[in-house]
Amino acid sequence: MRIRRALLFMPGDDRRKIEKGAVLGVDSVIMDLEDGVALNNKVAARSTAATALREVDFGGAEKLVRLNSAASELETDDLHATLPAHPDGYVLPKVEAAWQVQEVSAQIEHAEHEHGWPLGGIRVLAIIETARGIMNLREIAGSDPRLDALIFGAEDLAGDIGATRTPEGDEVFYARSAVVIHAKAFRLQAIDTPCVDLNDLDGLKAQTRTALQMGYTGKLAIHPRQVDVIQHVFTPSPEEIRRAKRLIDAHEAHQNAGTGVFELDGKMVDMPMVRAAKTLLARAHAAGVDPNNI
């Protein structure tokens, strides 16, 4: 699965922002056809996004399109307008049931057959941002092999349940935890809600660190200045990599000597810490950092 640390949204009807987003070195760009586009511009956004997919050089960035929701009656036309331009994947908003993922996946598969593209090549990421979505996480997470990630959407969820957003986020903490647990149970990526405060980069960093600590592997971004902060937090530092390597080396030496559990720097080490160290090295590798060179 490809790495998705920061995923930057841009309105699908805004060619200027799409071109700016293409050169930032962000892991994924998401051209939005849903809530970032005015109702009277939905049709134009489809063709702007499709044309950008054909014309703009996105470098190494993954090219994603966010569709309108299954309930909107716009989704099928969104797909028909953008599929021929072959995005790398689709982001589905307000997912509440497995069939919503499966229906989109079937339409994508049809296009893959039609164009002779590799089957399953176009990926799907589902946003969970309603009470029903949280309730049905299990069936959504297991819905389709094309599904790569669950994305948590705090703003819509708060609206749906009548919660008031706070900087601490206690009101959405259960849902934020539930999304990451279900994602991991099904070997999916977990991607955190965006920070809507565009100027508070310290707050963004703190939020991203919490997400990382919870097990999230990426976070949505809505402004170019958020990209580096997010990608930095999700990339292990040389210090963390060195510590992980030391722990794994010490573990191997103890295993060879017939000891399963031991002490390192005043802390007990056994298998969970070893697994965590290996996960950290895998994250470094995926982020393009070779742990062997550190």
Positions annotated as catalytic residues are 270
What per-residue string of b and e applies to 71-95 under the rule 16 or more CB within 10 Å gives b?
ebebbebbbebbbebbbbbbbbbbb
10 to each of 30, 116, 208, 261, how far by Cα in Å?
A: 6, 29, 20, 49
- Residue ranges that bind ligand COA, judged by CB under 6 A: 8-11, 16-17, 20-21, 32, 35-36, 194, 222-224
CA-based max dimension of the chain:
70
Smallest distance from Mg ion to CB 69, Å: 9
Report in angstroms how near the CB of residue 1 gets to ligand COA at its nearest: 23
Residue 184 touches which of Mg ion, ligand COA, none (Cβ within 5-8 Å per kind): none
Shortest spacing between CB 63 and ligand COA, in angstroms? 13
Q: Name the token pair of 41.
A: 């511009």
Q: What residue 31 binds from Mg ion, ligand COA, none (CB within 5 to 8 A, per partner kind)?
A: none
Of the candidates 116, 127, 123, the one whose C-alpha atom is nearest the C-alpha of residue 220 is 127
* Residue 218 interacting entry, from Mg ion, ligand COA, none, C-beta within 5 to 8 Å by type: none
Residue nearest to ligand COA (CB): 36
Is residue 210 within 8 Å of residue 176, measured between CB atoms? no
Site string for Mg ion, 213-242 (x = CB under 5 A): ------------------------------
CB 143 within 8 A of CB 157: no
Q: Which stretch binds Mg ion (CB under 5 A): 103-111, 122-130, 193-201, 210-218?
A: 122-130
C-alpha to C-alpha distance for 264 and 79, rounded to whole angstroms: 54
In the bound state with ligand COA, the residue whose beta carbon lies nearer, of 21 and 291, is 21
Which residue has the closest beta carbon to Mg ion?
156
Taking the CA of residue 223 as centre, how many other CA atoms within 13 Å lie in the half-sphere pointing to its CB? 11
| Structural contact between residues 217 and 5, judged by C-beta atoms closer than 8 angstroms | yes
**For residue 237, is it left (φ>0), alpha (ψ between -120 and 50) or beta?**
beta
Between 71 and 196, name the residue whose CB sits nearer to ligand COA.
196
- Judged by CB under 5 A, which of 11, 89, 153, 236 binds Mg ion? 153
153 binds, among Mg ion, ligand COA, none (CB under 5 to 8 A by kind): Mg ion
- Shortest spacing between CB 43 and ligand COA, in angstroms: 18
The interface partner of residue 236, options being ligand COA, Mg ion, none and the CB cut-off 5 to 8 Å by kind, is none
Q: For the CB of residue 257, give the shortest distance to ligand COA in the complex, in Å.
A: 53
- Secondary structure string (H, E, C) spanning 231-259: HHHCCCCHHHHHHHHHHHHHHHHHHHCCC
Cβ 270 to ligand COA, closest distance in Å? 42
Task: Decide whether 63 or 223 has the Cβ nearer to ligand COA.
Answer: 223
> What are the residues binding Mg ion (CB under 5 A)?
129, 153, 156
